[in-house]
Structure 1
Amino acid sequence: MIRKLTKRTIDTISPVEKPTIFYDSDLTGFCVKVLPSGIKRWCVEYRSGAGGRSVGKTRMVLGSTSAMTPDQARLAAKSTLAAVALGQDPARKRSTERAMPTFADFGERYLSEEAETKLKPRTVVNYRFYLRKHAAPLLGTRKLDALDSAERDNPSRDITGF
């Protein structure tokens, strides 16, 4: 269904039997998805790349209707569609960012998959201790792609403990 998505319009949408999409009449690709449970989510649909209709649509959830106003969701949809027009794929970017491991996860994975097979057991124990005691408290929750050489050069964020 196509209609202007406003607060009043969203509030009047009754529960549905199966997931249903309601499209906005003003902004192409902007929509609200209503689930049988009653949850309503703002979404934006687009076709990435230069494939036109030969490329499938991507539907990206922007947020819940209870967390975002229609104006906020419309603004987010416009910026997403603008990024698509510039050749980006916001949904792929979001999933890549979410899949990126944290420093602590990467360190533990390195120790279990690489270090344990190539180093002496006591060395691995020491490395694991250094990781958990010194590095993880400072950098553990940071994503790997967010780390740069500034962490090494900044003395107030010394990760070696020395």
Structure 2
Amino acid sequence: MLCASVLLAFCFFPMIIGSTPDCEDAAFPTDKKIRELLYEKISAKMSDKSLSYDCEMEEAAQINLELFDYSGDNVGDLSPTSSGVAPTAATKFVDPDTAISAEESAEKAVESWSQKLSKISATKFGCVYAPKDHEGKLTQRLFGCVFA
């Protein structure tokens, strides 16, 4: 009985504290620190909804990032996840300010999405962070999230 209790604690504790999964099986996983920051900030903005971070949605964000215009409105049909879940909403942010940290850029991204996030009805989401460079010099940071 004690073993079962310990096992349950280890399985459910991360869900209770609201941590994000590793998503290390993704082709290009989002940096864990950025993933956790985006999860924390987006969850706070959408606190009236019960949200979870989903690795398949992170992969869908990677696939769909180029389908978003700069405002985050999708300009084409969003590709579903590998299990067939179709994202219902998307956000995108491009930050040309390379003098600040990636974490500060992530916070700017979520802040820029505030109004849109309040209107999204979702239970899960995933995000992608893509630093862009030219000849080895950082030129901009892209953030995109999809929701279902």
For normalisation by structure 1, the TM-score amounts to 0.22
Higher relative contact order (CA 8 A, sep 6+): 2
For normalisation by structure 2, the TM-score amounts to 0.24
Structure that is richer in strand per residue: 2
Bigger Cα Rg = 1
